Structure 1
Amino acid sequence: MSGDSRQRSSEEWQDVPSRKGRRNSQQGGANNKIITKFYVSNLPPKCSSLDLKEVFGGFGVYEGSYIARKRDRWGKRFAFVSFRDVHDVKRLEGEMVDVWVGSYKLFVALARFVDGDMIDKPKPDLRRKAIMKELASHANHIVEGEYESGANTMGRGDNSNQTRGGRSFLDSVLNRNKVDTILVDDNVEGFYQWHGMSLVGKVVDFNTLTSLKELLRSRGWNSVAIKYVGGFSVLLVFTCLEDAESFLSYKNMWSVWFEGLKVWDGNFKEEERIAWLKVYGVPVQLAVDQVLEMVGSRYGKVVQPARMSGDDNNFSFAFIGVLTKSCSRIVDRVDIRWRGFLFNVWTDEDVGSTRGC
């Protein structure tokens, strides 16, 4: 029968057998299997059940998925993914905090509803509240025996709260999102042949960064190789030590372009980077630099505005360059309110772009 709902394409959804009436995210299935469901949002437009199986199949005993036809309250496609015999639900949920399908980062959480029934709200964790209160009064405390890390996590304050492996004291106490550390042998060192004959420094602004090659040539420094190393920082590689020292002596010249320059000895760390954000959802009447800069400034210092104009043919998105300390890919949503209207705006970092650099 062509109208039978059981004849739906597997590319659209795959239903997972369940038993109704249980107020828990874990359900008893066939052969007394314990099924745990997770809510998954921000699916790509053409994401199928086969895609979900490929992405989530390695996290446990994968049972199946259900992709909803409607969208959630944020206008995102969503699904429910099921696993069998999960021994530690919280741990599994924590392992799925950084799951991607193509360029879409998925939001994964333990399902709040199962077959229309809401899961019982857990009782307040009084011990966790006590810990949080204690941490608030000891914000600069460092775990005994640990040492400070150079990791800089956006929104977590000063580095004094960081412990081994870039993990904060708060994360250590609550045992969440541990960051693994890779130990590299001290003898490993790349491009050591440039030591002494190269200079490292930070340019004063984005325009100088993009035009540095022409600026150097205009002063006769045609043989200098420019190596971009992140943020506003570059490495100037000369053909010999004498040329590097000679350039460094012309401070009246290069101080217009650089905040500072020094001979590179193999030690360098850049904590900032330029992120190129693709902003969707700003209506054409608000597609002006003032509004777009308000969106971009949420993630860092805007160094390259969108510069929308009447000559543009596509107003559905805009590119913004921001200088940020965030080490994670930026994928976010914000609402813009104007004249009583509410507009949903999405920001997605274009990780493959080196626009202007």
Structure 2
Amino acid sequence: MGSRRKPIPVEIQRRITKFFITNLPDRCSGSDLAGVLRGYGVIFGIYIAKKRDKGGKRFGFVSFLDVRDIKEMLRRMYNIKMGAFKLEINVARFILEDGEIREEYVHKQKAPNIPPSHNTGNINVRFAKKGTFSFKEALTGDRKKEEVQNKTLILDDHQPVMEDLHGRSLFIKLGSFAVLRNLRSILSDMGLKGGRLRYLGGLQLLITFNSIDHATMAKDELLGRPKDFSLVESWKGQEIDFEKIAWVKIQGIPMHLMNDETMDKVAGLFGTVIHKTQLEEDDLDLSYYYAALLVNSGKIIQGEVSLMWKDKLYSVWVYEDTGARVPDFLNEGSCSLYDESVDSSSSSSEEADKSETGSVAADKEEVMQSDSASETELDA
């Protein structure tokens, strides 16, 4: 019988909320599940059981750090699918230290009225309770009232929205951050003109043309470059998921643990890394680094990551730079997307990828500007 893993430090246990997930695909791995859930919070750990639940379904657990509103978290994760499998997610009850769960509590929905944590002998048991405490609140016992009020507004299901754009607009997802940086020269090289470009956040765009026929021709051109444009479809009012690019500042990684891989793993706990940190030999300030993340939440990123190395625990802080909002091609003073200064020879995605080198902090200032309009026009 294998040995049990090392106990999780008490200060970390206080920050963990575990969720029970069932109806997993047969060949689902921990990394597969992490890829689906990473955008919903900071993942501390994932455990997938070898056995099946009483209904014959594969199940597992995922631990998130600093979940402030469990009910809202469950609502956001309600309709997650992995292929044809719709995941069934609930707060886990009576979690044992090694990641197992007492089966008689697997399908219960109502949490018992008991303290948030308990210790029985050598086994640390975690109880989930509505509402969570931050690390500071757990230490000081001080819990401030929520300053943000969540409200609900019910809209008319048939409310007309931008109907004039339907059919003659294309919804586009870009293939990479490099394409966003070089979008002006890429579209110019393709000869796509006569439309209006609107930035939707993240790697998403809407291009509106004068007619449906014009939009159809442009769609065919864009579909011919799948590496640059991962999704191109006619927009007829369908729902578009929220996305944003968040520039996060990483501080606190000890010098003896500092490398690109570690920093990218830290940043990846908060979203999908689309512009990696890059350590350079000429760097003089090693106190912080930037990374760009693709996330599906409008909340400001701010968190603490605990690095475990040789039985030691190191704190690393990650917080979002809120000054970076929209790409620079929307802020160049002219409503025209193209100008004569653009060298179309640099428009290929391969050369765009090469431009990723250099200081990440400098890229942040170059690529993202704050407080600007989010649309521009293509030359007729």
TM-score normalised by L of structure 1:
0.48
The structure with the largest alpha-carbon Rg is 1
